[in-house]
């Protein structure tokens, strides 16, 4: 098992398979970025996962951009699922194209989808995302659950935009669809935070009254409450020592670089050229592990 200098084992990979997105969420730092000049192929992604698996990686999360824009996503998942050591494969998506792809994704070996629904009000949803697509996303979640995928609903809380919507309504929706709920505190630049940031303290206090603290997730020490049979996970602002102290994840960029830290771009480890030359990249993975250090220290 690969363990960094601070005693944190690497147990999961977060692989971005593209940069571009069909949404224009105003709070997102990517905002529908243009395609990268080169992307890893399904075969190359499989090779990266096999390297990680040798050193203790057991979970893979696929993200973007919007990963469903890749037509070969099912092949990517199928190849990852063929790595015996991997026990869970999940996908982060806006859900707009999920209904049509859910069955194929499940058959390829996907275990779970994380779908962003920042409002259950169609007009507010469109204001946030730039897309009139709430009905498609809801249909996508229902189809995903129907074909056997576990579902997690992500919501970023935005002051003055969606914070007036009752948490009860969101929990009821999660219960109806059989989904896990994740409420996320906004993270971003100064102007974004000044206008839209809202701490999760009030929501957490309400959850305490509505249900019970069920436990804490190993990754980043996130609290999980159980309310009326629904698990509700709180993702507080990343700028805290707990987030870094409990980080067990290595990130991989679409164009083939290990990214040891979410908050840094100065310690990336490129590996794609070496991979395409047919050379080993184990040493580069371990170099990236060695470069990991908590960005926020207690």
Residue ranges per structural domain of the chain: 12-291
pLDDT (0 to 100) of residue 188: 72
Query: Looking at the predicted structure, is the pLDDT value of residue 32 above 50?
Result: no
For 48-68, what is each residue's pLDDT tens digit?
999 999 999 999 999 999 999
pLDDT (0 to 100) of residue 194: 86
Maximum distance among all Cα pairs of the chain, rounded to whole angstroms? 58
For 162-177, what is each residue's pLDDT tens digit?
988 888 899 999 999 9
**pTM (two decimals):** 0.92
- In the block, tokens 């969101």 appear at 170
- In angstroms, the CA 148 to CA 143 distance is 9
Q: What confidence tier does 94 reach under pLDDT thresholds 50, 70, 90?
A: very high
pLDDT (0 to 100) of residue 246: 83
- In angstroms, the CA 23 to CA 7 distance is 38
Query: Looking at the predicted structure, is the pLDDT value of residue 44 above 50?
Result: yes
For 210-254, what is each residue's pLDDT tens digit?
999 999 876 667 899 999 999 999 998 766 677 788 899 999 999
- Do 40 and 281 form a contact (C-beta atoms < 8 A)? no
24: CB partners within 8 A, 6+ apart:
31, 32, 129, 130, 131
- Beta strand 59-63 with 12-16 is parallel
Provide the β-strand partners of residue 16.
63
Neighbours of 26 (CB within 10 A): 13
- CATH of the domain spanning 12-291, picked from 3.30.450.20, 3.10.580.10, 3.20.20.70, 3.20.20.100: 3.20.20.70
């Amino acid at each position: 098992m690969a363990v960094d200098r601070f005693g944190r084992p690497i147990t999961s990979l977060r692989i971005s398979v593209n940069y571009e997105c069909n949404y224009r969420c105003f709070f997102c730092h990517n905002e529908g970025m243009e395609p990268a000049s080169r992307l890893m192929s399904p075969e190359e992604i499989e090779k990266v996962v096999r390297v990680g698996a040798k050193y203790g990686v057991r979970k893979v999360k696929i993200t973007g951009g919007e990963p469903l824009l890749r037509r070969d996503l099912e092949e990517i998942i199928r190849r990852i699922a063929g790595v015996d050591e991997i026990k869970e494969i999940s996908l982060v998506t806006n859900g707009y194209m999920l209904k049509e792809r859910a069955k194929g994704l499940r058959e390829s070996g996907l275990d779970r989808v994380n779908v962003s629904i920042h409002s259950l009000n169609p007009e507010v949803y469109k204001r946030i995302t730039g897309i009139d697509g709430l009905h498609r996303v809801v249909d996508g979640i229902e189809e995903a659950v129907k074909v056997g995928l576990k579902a997690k609903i992500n919501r970023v809380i935005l002051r003055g935009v969606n914070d007036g919507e009752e948490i009860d309504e969101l929990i009821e929706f999660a219960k109806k669809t059989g989904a896990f709920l994740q409420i996320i505190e906004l993270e971003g630049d100064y102007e974004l935070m000044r206008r839209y940031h809202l701490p999760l303290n009030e929501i957490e206090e309400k959850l305490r009254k509505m249900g019970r603290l069920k436990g804490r997730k190993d990754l980043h020490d996130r609290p999980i409450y159980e309310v009326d049979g629904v698990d509700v996970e709180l993702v507080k602002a990343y700028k805290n020592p707990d987030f870094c102290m409990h980080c067990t994840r290595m990130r991989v960029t679409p164009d083939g670089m290990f990214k040891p830290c979410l908050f840094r771009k100065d310690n990336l480890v490129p590996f794609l050229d070496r991979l395409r030359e047919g050379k080993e990249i184990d040493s580069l993975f371990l170099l990236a592990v060695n470069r990991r250090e908590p960005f926020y220290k207690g």
